[in-house]
Structure 1
Protein backbone atom coordinates (compact mmCIF):
# COMPACT_ATOMS: atom_id res chain seq x y z
CA UNK A 1 0.00 0.00 0.00
CA UNK A 2 1.58 3.31 -1.06
CA UNK A 3 2.28 6.08 1.41
CA UNK A 4 -0.58 8.61 1.62
CA UNK A 5 1.80 11.41 0.59
CA UNK A 6 2.20 9.87 -2.87
CA UNK A 7 -1.07 11.38 -4.09
CA UNK A 8 0.58 14.81 -3.92
CA UNK A 9 3.18 13.82 -6.50
CA UNK A 10 0.53 13.44 -9.23
CA UNK A 11 1.30 15.61 -12.25
CA UNK A 12 -1.13 14.51 -14.97
CA UNK A 13 -3.57 17.32 -14.12
CA UNK A 14 -0.95 20.02 -14.69
CA UNK A 15 -0.37 21.90 -17.91
CA UNK A 16 2.50 20.68 -20.08
CA UNK A 17 4.95 23.40 -19.02
CA UNK A 18 4.42 22.57 -15.32
CA UNK A 19 4.69 18.84 -15.99
CA UNK A 20 8.23 19.50 -17.24
CA UNK A 21 9.15 20.24 -13.62
CA UNK A 22 6.72 18.03 -11.73
CA UNK A 23 6.93 14.77 -13.70
CA UNK A 24 10.61 13.92 -13.05
CA UNK A 25 10.13 14.62 -9.34
CA UNK A 26 6.99 12.50 -9.26
CA UNK A 27 8.85 9.67 -10.97
CA UNK A 28 11.69 9.95 -8.45
CA UNK A 29 9.18 9.85 -5.59
CA UNK A 30 7.65 6.70 -7.05
CA UNK A 31 11.09 5.07 -7.28
CA UNK A 32 11.80 5.91 -3.65
CA UNK A 33 8.37 4.65 -2.59
CA UNK A 34 9.00 1.35 -4.36
CA UNK A 35 12.64 0.80 -3.43
CA UNK A 36 12.97 1.98 0.16
CA UNK A 37 11.60 0.30 3.28
CA UNK A 38 8.83 2.11 5.13
CA UNK A 39 9.97 4.13 8.10
CA UNK A 40 10.40 7.62 9.48
CA UNK A 41 13.38 8.50 7.27
CA UNK A 42 11.52 7.54 4.10
CA UNK A 43 8.54 9.60 5.25
CA UNK A 44 10.78 12.58 5.99
CA UNK A 45 12.55 12.25 2.65
CA UNK A 46 9.29 12.11 0.69
CA UNK A 47 7.94 15.09 2.64
CA UNK A 48 11.05 17.14 1.82
CA UNK A 49 10.89 16.05 -1.83
CA UNK A 50 7.28 17.25 -1.93
CA UNK A 51 8.33 20.61 -0.48
CA UNK A 52 11.01 20.88 -3.17
CA UNK A 53 8.56 19.95 -5.93
CA UNK A 54 6.08 22.57 -4.76
CA UNK A 55 8.77 25.27 -4.68
CA UNK A 56 10.11 24.33 -8.12
CA UNK A 57 6.64 24.31 -9.69
CA UNK A 58 6.03 27.77 -8.17
CA UNK A 59 9.37 28.90 -9.63
CA UNK A 60 8.22 27.75 -13.07
CA UNK A 61 5.05 29.80 -12.63
CA UNK A 62 7.41 32.74 -12.13
Structure 2
Protein backbone atom coordinates (compact mmCIF):
# COMPACT_ATOMS: atom_id res chain seq x y z
CA UNK A 1 0.00 0.00 0.00
CA UNK A 2 2.82 2.40 0.87
CA UNK A 3 4.63 1.71 -2.39
CA UNK A 4 1.55 2.80 -4.34
CA UNK A 5 0.66 5.78 -2.15
CA UNK A 6 4.01 7.61 -2.05
CA UNK A 7 4.42 8.08 -5.84
CA UNK A 8 0.92 9.62 -5.86
CA UNK A 9 2.03 12.28 -3.39
CA UNK A 10 0.62 10.76 -0.21
CA UNK A 11 2.58 11.18 3.00
CA UNK A 12 3.41 8.16 5.09
CA UNK A 13 4.33 8.29 8.75
CA UNK A 14 5.53 4.75 9.39
CA UNK A 15 6.31 3.57 12.91
CA UNK A 16 4.77 6.70 14.41
CA UNK A 17 3.13 6.32 17.80
CA UNK A 18 -0.08 8.29 18.23
CA UNK A 19 -1.08 9.30 21.74
CA UNK A 20 -4.18 11.37 20.95
CA UNK A 21 -6.62 12.44 18.26
CA UNK A 22 -9.32 15.00 17.47
CA UNK A 23 -12.01 14.27 14.90
CA UNK A 24 -14.07 17.17 13.60
CA UNK A 25 -15.88 17.70 10.33
CA UNK A 26 -13.57 16.64 7.48
CA UNK A 27 -10.37 17.12 9.47
CA UNK A 28 -8.45 14.74 11.70
CA UNK A 29 -5.65 15.78 14.00
CA UNK A 30 -3.30 13.11 15.32
CA UNK A 31 -0.87 13.87 18.12
CA UNK A 32 2.41 11.94 18.21
CA UNK A 33 4.42 10.95 21.24
CA UNK A 34 7.15 13.34 20.05
CA UNK A 35 4.74 16.31 20.33
CA UNK A 36 4.06 16.69 16.59
CA UNK A 37 0.60 17.11 15.07
CA UNK A 38 -0.50 15.45 11.84
CA UNK A 39 -3.48 17.06 10.04
CA UNK A 40 -5.36 14.91 7.54
CA UNK A 41 -8.67 14.42 5.79
CA UNK A 42 -8.13 10.67 5.51
CA UNK A 43 -6.16 8.43 7.86
CA UNK A 44 -5.28 4.79 7.28
CA UNK A 45 -4.32 2.91 10.43
CA UNK A 46 -2.11 -0.02 9.51
CA UNK A 47 -2.03 -1.56 12.97
CA UNK A 48 -4.11 -4.72 12.70
CA UNK A 49 -7.09 -5.41 14.89
CA UNK A 50 -6.36 -2.50 17.26
CA UNK A 51 -7.59 -0.06 14.60
CA UNK A 52 -11.14 -1.36 15.06
CA UNK A 53 -11.48 0.96 18.05
CA UNK A 54 -10.59 3.94 15.82
CA UNK A 55 -13.34 3.00 13.37
CA UNK A 56 -15.86 2.70 16.20
CA UNK A 57 -14.97 6.21 17.44
CA UNK A 58 -15.52 7.69 13.96
CA UNK A 59 -18.93 6.05 13.52
CA UNK A 60 -20.38 7.18 16.87
Same fold (TM over 0.5): no
State the TM-score, normalizing by the size of structure 1: 0.28
User: TM-score, normalized by length of structure 2?
Assistant: 0.28
Greater relative CO (CA pairs within 8 A, separation 6+): 1
Which has the larger share of helix?
Answer: 1
